[in-house]
């Protein structure tokens, strides 16, 4: 699998019931709108990356609803690479989505998957009761070890919190709080991109010899043109990412509605 295409989703904020509303909107409908859009594209994804805030409050009922709507993504017949964000609950996610025994909320959920000769790494930057994120020492050591393993076609890294500051002032400290440690871990390795979410809009900037790409959110979009206060837009978004001949192409796709002050 030298060339590949995948869909990067983040910030689904799924609620417990199909008709529950977040800021007056059904988040399940937003995900279904994306599913329909992807079905109608003339490219077929090799996998999906979902980089956290899968649900809104970490409740068991929300993960049961998440499982229901993820079935629509599973119909594509390709892997789902799942990660967690600050709105998620590790224990409930492990029990309901993964079907694992779980008791320890502090046990971070990070993993890697090989797609042909390319490695996709999912990190866990969630901190208890915090909107910002960090990567702990054991996880950084694991990441360094993973990157030392052979991956002839390079690596992709996904993480919920962007490793760079947001240009929207109220979100400026919502990022990863130890980006230098992440930069040290990936230095000297072939990393195509760092893929993140959390800030609900598309944001691209260089980071440690690679590029940080933040995807627009599934549940609702924040307007990066409103830099002194957050302004919602009723819409949804995702990023269509292709790797062709070793070159990465990231295409953010957003559908916007009316602005809403929050």
pLDDT tens digit string along 202-250?
A: 899 999 999 999 999 999 887 666 676 767 678 899 999 999 999 999 9
pLDDT at 69: 95
User: pLDDT at residue 260 above 70?
Assistant: no
Q: How many CB atoms lie within 10 A of CB 17?
A: 11
User: pLDDT at residue 26 above 70?
Assistant: yes
The arithmetic mean of pLDDT across residues 184-191, rounded, is: 97
pLDDT at 240: 98
Q: 3-state DSSP call for residue 48?
A: strand
User: pLDDT at residue 145 above 70?
Assistant: yes
What is the C-alpha radius of gyration for the chain, rounded to an integer number of angstroms? 17
* pLDDT tens sequence across 79-134: 999 999 999 999 999 999 999 998 899 999 999 999 999 999 999 999 999 999 99
CA distance 105 to 241: 32
- CA neighbours within 13 Å on the CB side: how many for 50? 22
pLDDT at 226: 66
Percent helix, percent strand, percent coil in the chain, to nearest 5: 20, 30, 50
- CA neighbours within 13 Å on the CB side: how many for 151? 22
- Answer for the pair 179, 135: CB distance below 8 angstroms, yes or no: no
User: pLDDT at residue 172 above 90?
Assistant: no
Residue 191: strand pairing partners: 155
Average pLDDT of every residue of the chain: 93
CA distances from 179 to 41, 99, 163, 201, 235 (A): 35, 32, 5, 20, 30
User: pLDDT at residue 158 above 70?
Assistant: yes
Q: Which domains, from first to last, does the chain contain?
A: 4-261 (3.60.21.10)
> How much is the pTM?
0.94
């Amino acid at each position: 699998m030298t060339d590949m295409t995948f869909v990067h989703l983040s910030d689904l904020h799924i609620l417990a019931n199909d008709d529950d509303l977040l800021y007056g909107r059904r988040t399940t409908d937003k995900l279904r709108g994306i599913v329909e859009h992807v079905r109608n594209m003339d490219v077929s994804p090799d996998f999906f990356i979902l980089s956290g805030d899968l649900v809104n409050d970490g409740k068991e009922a929300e993960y049961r609803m998440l499982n229901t709507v993820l079935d629509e993504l599973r119909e594509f017949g390709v892997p789902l690479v799942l990660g967690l964000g600050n709105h998620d609950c590790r224990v409930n996610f492990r029990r309901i989505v993964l079907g694992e025994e779980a008791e320890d909320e502090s046990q971070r959920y990070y993993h890697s998957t090989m797609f042909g000769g390319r490695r996709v790494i999912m990190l866990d930057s969630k901190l208890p009761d915090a909107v910002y994120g960090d990567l702990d020492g054991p996880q950084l050591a694991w990441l360094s070890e993973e990157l030392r393993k052979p991956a002839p076609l390079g690596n992709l890294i996904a993480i919920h919190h962007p490793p760079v500051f947001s240009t929207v002032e109220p979100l400026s400290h919502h990022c990863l709080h130890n980006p230098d440690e992440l930069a040290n871990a990936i230095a000297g390795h072939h990393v195509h991109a760092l893929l993140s979410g959390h800030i609900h809009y598309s944001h691209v900037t260089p980071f440690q010899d690679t590029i940080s790409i933040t995807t627009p959110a599934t549940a609702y979009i924040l307007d990066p043109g409103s830099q002194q206060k957050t302004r919602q837009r009723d819409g949804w978004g995702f990023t269509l990412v292709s790797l062709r001949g070793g070159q990465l192409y990231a295409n953010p796709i957003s559908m916007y509605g009316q602005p809403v002050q929050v």
